[in-house]
Amino acid sequence: MTLGMTLSTAEAITSAALEKAVELKLKPLTVAILDAGGHAVLVKRQDGSSIMRPQIAAGKAIGALAVGTGTRWLNANAESRPHFVNALNGVSGGAIVPVPGGVLIKGESGETLGAVGITGDTSDNDEACAVAGIVAAGLVADCG
């Protein structure tokens, strides 16, 4: 039986993601972990993380949950189908940030446990840290 996204799992993902950021010498990151229902489980900011980063990180995670895959997919669709991404962001009340860095967290059997959103460096680096955190926690990352 899967419990879904637990605080201890969110802490493990966050710790590993921030360790990766230190290893890569990235700018200060902010991590938001949401459960499958879009509720915040954990938000953590590194020292020096700039204003609005918690909202951006959560927006990336919400975007991944909204479309059922990572926000790399949303980013590609923002270019090829901007009307769709604009409409999606409209119905979400502007909550979605459609750039890489939002990654679905899946269990071994493929069930969605939640999503992580990371912001603070380049979108590609944000996504790399999210994937590193999810994999280190023994789960499956879906970047889109």
Residue 3: what pLDDT? Answer: 74
| Tens of pLDDT, residue by residue, the chain (144 residues) | 457 999 999 999 999 999 999 999 999 999 999 999 999 999 999 999 999 999 999 999 999 999 999 999 999 999 999 999 999 999 999 999 999 999 999 998 999 999 999 999 999 999 999 999 999 999 999 998
Conformation bin of residue 66: beta by default, left when phi > 0, alpha when psi is -120 to 50? alpha
Q: Residue 116 has which token pair?
A: 């992580």
Conformation bin of residue 50: beta by default, left when phi > 0, alpha when psi is -120 to 50? beta
Residue 2: what pLDDT? Answer: 55
Residue 1: what pLDDT? Answer: 43
Rounded (5°) CA angle 18-23-26: 70
**Contact by Cβ (8 Å): 71, 60:** yes
**What is the rounded distance in angstroms from the CA atom of residue 11 to the CA atom of residue 17?**
10
Q: Residue 91 has which token pair?
A: 């119905």
Q: Is the pTM of this model over 0.75?
A: yes
The second-level CATH assignment, the architecture, of 7-142 is 2-Layer Sandwich (3.30)
Sorted by where each begins, the domain ranges of the chain are 7-142
Q: Give the SS3 label for residue 1.
A: coil
